[in-house]
Amino acid sequence: MHRGSTGRPSQGRPSHQPLALTALALAVSMPCAQAQDSGTARAGTAAEVQLPTVSVRADSVENYGPANKKSVSATKSDVPIADTPQSISVITADQMRAQGAQRVEEALRYSAGVRTEPIVDTRRSTYMIRGFTVSQNSQYWDGLKLPASGGYGGWELEPYSLERVDVVRGPSSVLYGQTSPGGLINQISKRPQAERANEINLSFGNYDRKEISGDFTGKLDQDGKVLYRLTALARDSGTQTNMAGDDRFFIAPQITWRPSDATSFTAYAQIYHDNAGNSANFLPALGTITPLANGSKIPTDLFTGEPGFDRFKREQYLAGYEFSHRLNDTVTLRQNLRYGHMYVSYENIGGNGGLVANPPNGPYLLRRIGLRSNESFDLFTVDNQAQVKVRHGIFDHTILTGIDYSRSTFNRLRGLTGNTPAAQPPLNIFNPVYGNFVAPNYQTDEDTTRSQIGFYLQDMVRISERFMLQLAGRYDRAKVSTDTRALSTNAVTRTGSDDGKFTGRAGLLWEGPYGLSPYVSYSTSFEPATAVPLFGGGTPQPTTGKQYEAGLKWQPAGSRSFAQLSLFDLTQANVLTTSPVSGFSSQLGEVRSRGVELEGTWSVTPNFNLLASYTYTDAEVTKAGPNAPNAGKTPQYVPRHMASLWADYRLSGGFLAGVWLGGGVRYVSKTYDQTNVTEVPGFTLVDLAASYSFARHYTLRLNLNNLFDKTYVAACDSATNCYYGRRRTIIGTVTYRW
């Protein structure tokens, strides 16, 4: 046995990244490598992406601040955000870079209505919109769903590969099918560009972080009919949890063929190799929220697992194409197709069940559980669309009709141990001695097949240049079947469901004077039953949701500023809550969430920008469910108040020309666990950023998130499962562009 280290956070974990870093360094320095996008664009290039934008370049102010305000995510057509009767936000690559977002969930920190990072977890992101979890089953990439596998690993996209992230609030099943009523996140990729540009970044940070990345794009022929893009990244890093790493190798080649102005075909692939630990320690409220009997608290860097046993390895492969052809000025055809494969090997000895006892003088022993999961997930999905634009008198119609289909297969070998001292030796939280543990054996072999087909129709009608009417409907058919074999007896348990549902949406917006546009909408959502086991047995019922929303958008003519106010009343039946430890779920009868969101971005001057948001959410379990008697309770993780403010300023003259400064404040009020027995205090965090661009090609950037290194608990599932929030991160980056 050996004692735990309190030194280098990544100590004791295997790393294969030095070789990957070297390989990437060679790849990104090839003469043919050329990159550009609005997030990595040369000075003076107009960004095509939306609201809000924060640029870190000093060469030009044209790309700075909020850009063109369009998003295809809400309507699958290029209707401006200001003309869409729904609340939408866009986080651009420039904003992600400026705020130092290292994961997609971090990019959402300053968006209204979005609760991010209740769990600091290298395995997968967790975020919520309007009080409902959307990170697992409402995550989209370029308009196609990245569904939850049902296992411990989830699809994780590299933010450096993204042009922007669209936040679409409220039910969106009418176009996308099976989604959470809270909304969805659509992650939009950087795509090949005709103008040549190159970028290489070197980053270093605390927790022994080392990272190299590159982004290259340009044309392969003189006419610009064939374009390419290559984006790559390699990282070797620890985390705030001792011996839990966060290593990644990522590469994404793309090619676009445009034989004419009417036709475009883009083929792409992404490869991920993640080698990480479990940074989400499951710790009790006693010792994290409240002190132990001796007055101390559990260290935030405590590693509750076992060196040499604990690991989380994910291999993720995605490939597909986007095709678009304009038949004439009226009709456009589109097809978006993708195949994905994910393999996860996860082994963990982790906290579960709280402390064995709380003696005044110790020792303080943490109950632990052993887990082993070997997972394979394959996904095929395709979306076929036809768009028709016609005019009848005062009515301008943009009609969209489509059929989408997806099929996935999931296999998992899983084993668990109990959390009693006899089943799994506990760990001394102040003097951890490793090596005494019970490795779980595989106990079940699970096979799940899911398929879904949806038919949708939408009409966006502009009436007399003042009104925008949205009418849409969709029918979904979804099937799920699961065979679970007990390895000890070979007995097979078979469960399944076959659900169909119609969903709809209606919205009306009026373009009033002074850039003000009030709107109202009603929409519904549908998520079919999943194959996760319910606590107490049984199969989950399909979840359905409905929302009433009214709002006001403000976009002054000729201004880059934009603001929106939303009031919503949202109800979801058969809400599913899943324990991240056991994998078992409970189904609530009904949850109601209603509130107010305010978000705006203001270009005070060409060099000075503000981004502010406030959210009030009144969420309540209004009907209890079997084995979930929580009626009258507040759902877990959901704060009543959230607020944020980000400001940045660029110096454009004198000897300080090229200096850019930014900073922000984020506030989250108190939350509760599932039973509302444990109250998690609210917290306020401060972020700071600065950059300096010089000699035309170079930029130095520094990001400090959680500047004052505040120690706080982000959320609790129960009194025995709480999660420390993200400690201070310091990352410095050198960028060279040519």
pLDDT of residue 149: 84
pLDDT of residue 60: 34
Check whether 32 has a pLDDT greater than 60.
no
* Span 346-374, average pLDDT: 91
pLDDT of residue 373: 96
pLDDT of residue 581: 47
pLDDT of residue 280: 79
* Span 572-581, average pLDDT: 67
Q: How far apart are CA 357 and CA 148, in angstroms?
A: 37
Residue 436's domain comprises 2-737
What is the largest distance, in Å, between two alpha-carbon atoms of the chain? 83
Q: For residue 60, which amino acid is it?
A: S
How many Å separate Cα 317 from the centre of its chain?
18
Number of Cβ within 10 Å of residue 345's Cβ equals: 14
Check whether 509 has a pLDDT greater than 90.
yes
Beta-bridged to residue 33, according to DSSP, are: none
Is 280 in contact with 119 (CB distance < 8 Å)?
yes
Q: pLDDT tens digits, residue range 682-695?
A: 999 999 999 999 98
CATH number, residue 472 = 2.40.170.20
Q: Which residue in 253, 197, 231 sits closest to 43, CA to CA?
A: 197
Check whether 8 has a pLDDT greater than 70.
no
* Span 207-212, average pLDDT: 97
Q: pLDDT tens digits, residue range 376-396?
A: 999 999 999 999 999 999 999
- 634 Cβ neighbours under 8 A, 6+ residues apart: 619, 620, 621, 671, 672, 676
C-alpha torsion angle, residues 282, 581, 157, 456 (rounded to 10): -140
Phi and psi angles of residue 640, each rounded to the nearest 5 degrees, phi first: -75, -35
pLDDT of residue 541: 75
* Span 133-156, average pLDDT: 87
pLDDT of residue 136: 72
pLDDT of residue 55: 34
pLDDT of residue 67: 41
Q: How far apart are CA 271 and CA 253, in angstroms?
A: 9
Q: Tokens 């469901």, residue?
A: 497
Check whether 536 has a pLDDT greater than 80.
no
pLDDT of residue 592: 95
Q: How far apart are CA 37 and CA 196, in angstroms?
A: 10
* Span 136-142, average pLDDT: 87
Q: How far apart are CA 431 and CA 364, in angstroms?
A: 9
pLDDT of residue 213: 98
pLDDT of residue 669: 98
Burial 241-277 (b: 16+ CB within 10 A, else e): bbbbbbbbbbbbbbbbbbeeeeebebebebebbbbbb
Residue 47 tokens, joined: 């960004």
Q: pLDDT tens digits, residue range 616-674?
A: 999 999 987 665 567 889 999 999 999 999 999 999 888 889 999 999 999 999 999 98
Per-residue pLDDT band for 123 (boundaries 50, 70, 90) equals: confident
Is 181 in contact with 525 (CB distance < 8 Å)?
yes
Q: pLDDT tens digits, residue range 323-358?
A: 999 999 999 999 999 999 999 999 999 999 899 987
Kindly state the percentage of the chain with pLDDT values over 90: 72
How many Å separate Cα 452 from the centre of its chain?
23
- 99 Cβ neighbours under 8 A, 6+ residues apart: 54, 106, 107, 109, 110, 646, 662, 664, 687, 689, 703, 705
Number of Cβ within 10 Å of residue 423's Cβ equals: 15
pLDDT of residue 318: 98
From residue 44, alpha-carbon distances to 38, 41, 550 in Å are 10, 8, 38
Check whether 52 has a pLDDT greater than 80.
no
- How many domains in the chain? 1
Pairing mode of beta strands 183-189, 139-141: parallel
Q: pLDDT tens digits, residue range 70-83?
A: 677 777 777 788 88
- Counting Cβ atoms within 10 Å, is residue 725 exposed (0-12), middle (13-18) or buried (19+)? buried
Higher per-residue confidence, 486 vs 573 = 486
pLDDT of residue 26: 39
Check whether 2 has a pLDDT greater than 60.
no
* Span 277-293, average pLDDT: 90
Residue 333 tokens, joined: 């055809």
* Span 87-96, average pLDDT: 94
Check whether 278 has a pLDDT greater than 70.
yes
Q: How far apart are CA 366 and CA 292, in angstroms?
A: 12
Kindly state the percentage of the chain with pLDDT values over 70: 86
Q: Which residue in 240, 296, 286 sits closest to 709, CA to CA?
A: 240
pLDDT of residue 287: 95
